[in-house]
Chains A and B, each alone.
Chain A
């Protein structure tokens, strides 16, 4: 079966750093995605990890540990516009389909 777990909600201050964790148990693994979804809008692609380690892309970084079934999304220098839901999704082995977590709603406060 597939199980993806991430916190439901988080709050952080503008200018700060926040880490959103995701743990997964899936039958096979072929990569992990992070998406950002603002309220009422489409999810947009943020990052993809298939090998262990950190992928950095501007203010956003994503980390993966395959042995631990664990990933995190790190957001630096938080801005008010970063208030959104962040979705963790896993691509199972032998499949291009994604299994999504419930998403973490991040609120950035002044």
Chain B
């Protein structure tokens, strides 16, 4: 399944570094999401974009900065992260078709380690 792709797949960074995660969806969807997945914790929704507009920011620290230049691309810019930010970062997209079933399709994730 290559509907949603993410790069890089693995990233190691120091606390003073700046890096960006990229997500691209080839499904023609209009909504995109960033999630954080830490060990033994549920998937945590971070940001939601509908038609390129940010509609949700779930109290995410400002060291995480999303960008959505178009409906197919989503970025997560990282700066001055903390070791507790080490996690799997998942991107997802959904059609935003207005029906009952708004299934989200996930990318493979970026495994981030902050040293």
Interface residues of A (CB under 8 A from B): 4, 8, 30-31, 33, 35, 40-45, 48, 50, 87, 89, 91, 96-103
Contact = CB atoms under 8 A, between A and B. Distances in A.
A102 B100 CA distance: 24
Given A41-B108, A42-B109, A96 B102 contact: yes
Interface of B: 1, 4, 31, 33, 40-43, 45, 48, 56, 90, 94, 96, 100-109, 111
Secondary structure at the B interface, as helix, strand, loop or mixed, is loop
Given A31-B100, A44-B1, A102-B41, A96 B31 contact: yes
A42 B31 contact: no
Contacts, number: 53
Contacts of A40: 111
Contacts of B1: 42, 44
B101 A31 contact: yes
A14 B40 CA distance: 25
Given A87-B43, A103-B42, A98 B104 contact: yes
A26 to B, nearest CB: 13
A45 B101 CA distance: 12
